[in-house]
Amino acid sequence: MTRKGPLDGIRVADFCWVGAGSYTTKMLADLGADVVKIESSKRLDSLRLARPYKDGVKGVNRSGYFADRNTGKRSITLDLKRDEARDLARRLIQDSDIVTNNFTPGTLDRLGLGYARFAAERPDLVFVEMSMQGGDGPARDYLGYGATIAALCGLQFLTDRPGGRGAGTGTNYPDHIPNPCHAAFAILAAIRHRRRTGLGQYIDLAQTEPTIAVLAPALMAAAAGEAVAPSANGGAAAAPVGVYPTAGEDRWIAISAPDEASWRSLLGVLGVGALADDPRFGDGASRALNRAVLDEALDRVTRALDGEDLMHRLQAAGVAAGVVRDAKGVVAEDPQFAHRGHWVRFDHPEMGRTLYNAPPFRFARGEVGLGGRSPLLGEHTDEVLRGRLGLDDAEIGRLRAEGVLE
């Protein structure tokens, strides 16, 4: 896909793998950067082996999870245990504006590819490391991924039901929202700083910190001496705010009516105006205090109603409401996603016509969107070595024959 995004001309040497790091550099690719993903067939990005696979057929180029996190990138494969491969990686870094990795601290240093190796000769380089606990301190060598980080920071605890055992959100939430978004924002700030001063930055992002940042209200409450405990949908200060059953099997609707106007409108749409006269629900504080009783009363009404129709009637009455869709419903039935062109399909050499998420935002200036499908493993090795490093076909053939290129 040919386009000119806000980061057009920016070159990224991407050593990231798995979730948060790969999603960070995907966002850079969505903004128009040329992201070259350095991979190895001997030590695969584990996301390439993550379900779901297209048509249920396993393969390093068939993971939907990998595909979604790596749109618009180019992939090269190098055996970084070889001196010549490390030299190629160094040359690629020297030809880049941004270097990213989410390895354990010191991994790139041991390969001769760390920030200290380039700081003097490339003062304009933006170098990003995204380890679990950061590059310094007693916990620097701890390993972990999204669920580990969520447990360590308290997210698993806070998102459970009261009295639960820390079941959490059911997904590696830190990998999807706080960590890649904070990292991408830090990179964009560093690029702006470089445009103004000519100087790059070394960014050491401990992935625990962005996750802790999204828990700020709970942390402040605990610091003030308040008891903090999981409350499921009961965390809101007013009610009703929750998810309620509707007609059909496993059908639900999310409703939020925390103020008096929306509360009255909700009662009108549901035809249960008598609840307004119940002293237990006389004001927001009373409704929050008697949340369980209120939710039970609303459940009895909503479970007999069609969710789509109820959603539209509530929205028309000024009540925030949305049906809860399964994966198939989100893709095929959600009119807002369709209106915004959120779902994009690309032809893939192994997976065929494949569905991808477009960025959920637009820029007033510059194109933002998917730069193309996900890459095959090592698909662009020759292309990058020719175009970025100036190698000819004979040299590339020799390197491949000797196993430097995988």
- Residues identified as active-site: 175
Tokens, residue 90: 């160094």
* Nearest C-alpha neighbor of 384 from the set 24, 33, 36, 102: 36
Show the tokens assigned to 334. 């959600």
From first CA to last CA, the distance across the chain in angstroms is: 27
Both tokens assigned to 191: 């690029």
- DSSP secondary structure letters along 100-128: EE-SSTTHHHHTT-SHHHHTTT-TT-EEE
Cα(218)–Cα(212) distance, rounded to whole angstroms?
10
DSSP assignment, residue 291? H
CA 131, 133, 137, 142 torsion-angle sign: negative
Query: By C-alpha distance, which of 146, 173, 294, 164 is closest to 229?
Result: 164
Q: Which two tokens stand for residue 26?
A: 């995907």
DSSP class of 341:
T
Distance CA(284)–CA(290), nearest Å, equals 10
- Any residues with CB less than 8 A from the CB of 17 and at least 6 apart, and which? 39, 45, 46, 47, 102
